[in-house]
Amino acid sequence: MREIVLDTETTGLDPLRGDRLVEVGCVEIFNRIPTGQNFHVYINPERDMPVEAFNVHGLSAEFLSDKPLFAHVVDDFLAFIGDAPLVIHNASFDIGFINAELSRLGRPPLTFERVVDTLAMARRRHPGASNRLDDLMARYGIDGSRRTKHGALLDSELLADVYAELAGGRQTALGLTVVEAAAESTVEGLEPIVLVRPVPLAPRLSEAETAAHAAFVRTLGDAAIWNDYAVTQKADQAN
């Protein structure tokens, strides 16, 4: 299943009081494995950068002054996420900011029905523990040494690893497939795999053990399923 791990950086904590998006990072995953397809953009917020926010992500107003407006990247952003589920840590924060930007442009909001909130997942799995992204990375042994400051794309990449662990680890399913012994190899120069053992394994039961088992089966009466098996075995040996 295709999902999008998403993170944002902003000028503050409240879009209703004039705070704006300054960075959006998205990582595409398929069956919880990153595909290598990402979306990343810095955004000109058209306002100053409070020192508290700068200390978190290190993005200055001067750095962002020549970056595109959200209106100039919204179509690419919406095309990238499509209708895939959105995996977000503390989703109400990021969705609130994205929807505020969409509202300014008269675009429909993103709905919470498509959101997977990893903070809620972590709280269910680790009740009473601190479940910040840093704490979860430490708990699952995920290397966060690159994370000297918050960054939307880097945090999305790290969250993708955390999400895989929260959802049960990288090996999400074990499938057993029957392979035809006569199937031809699709790789030129390779012999097809033969699944039939060329020399049967030697029996591990002694003749005395085999005789004792046969004697026991005879005590079970004619309806015992082992009698049918013994008849089949004798027929096979005769052939």
Binding-site positions for substrate: 7, 9, 52, 57, 155
- Work out the burial of residue 18: count CB atoms within 10 Å of its CB; fewer than 13 is exposed, 13-18 middle, 19 or more buried: exposed
d(CA 131, CA 126): 8
Residue 170 tokens read as 């990288």
d(CA 26, CA 152): 8
Is residue 72 flagged as an active site residue? no
d(CA 217, CA 227): 7
Q: Catalytic: which of 40, 126, 150, 213?
A: 150
Which residues are documented as binding site for a divalent metal cation?
A: 7, 9, 155
d(CA 120, CA 20): 25
Q: Whose CA is closest to 142, among 165, 119, 112? A: 165
Which residues are documented as binding site?
A: 7, 9, 52, 57, 155
Strand partners, 21: 10
Distances (CA, A) of 27 to 24, 85, 92, 141, 237: 10, 12, 19, 20, 60
Give catalytic residue positions: 150
